[in-house]
Amino acid sequence: MKKAVYNSPLGNIVIEMEGRCLTGLYFSDETALSNSKNNDKALRKVALWLDGYFSGKNKTADFQINQKGTPFQRAVWAELEQIPYGTTCTYGQISSQLAARLGKQKVSPRAVGRAVGCNKIAIIIPCHRVIGTDGKLTGYAWGLERKEKLLKFEKHCRDQFDL
């Protein structure tokens, strides 16, 4: 496994790779790792994508992701990837969509919330775009302040650049 730290406007982001697959992308106070602008091509590709994201240019990633999780967690994360850039949806909406996709009558929004909370690939698997039914920001592993800033940033980019 390779790791590097990317210095973002919202704090350090740890990039974890196994081969050419992204296995982790999360905010951290870690600084002891190397800067991601090193000679590793896979780490550099993710760092360059993050440069584009934080300059308002990149919406979707074009590299392989291999996040370990249960089949249910993976299904929830797949639903998260369907949330359009600069928009939000609720845990209840995700649970309804997932139930329909899985051919089930119902999927618990709480179970969805737990799976969302296990996501270790921030921004690309956009758990920050999930909000409470009442429209309020709820849980975010890396802090509600970061979640709010990511949502405002994406909305601003979407409005400004017609993304």
C-alpha separations of 116 from 84, 109, 127, 151 in Å:
16, 10, 6, 16
Residues designated catalytic = 127
CB proximity list for 17: less than 8 A, separation 6 or greater: 1, 2, 3, 23, 40, 42, 43, 46
Q: Cα separation of 65 and 97, whole Å?
A: 22
Joined tokens for residue 98: 């997932």
Q: Cα separation of 42 and 74, whole Å?
A: 23
The CA-based dihedral angle spanning residues 53, 148, 119, 98, taken in that order and rounded to the nearest 10 degrees: -100
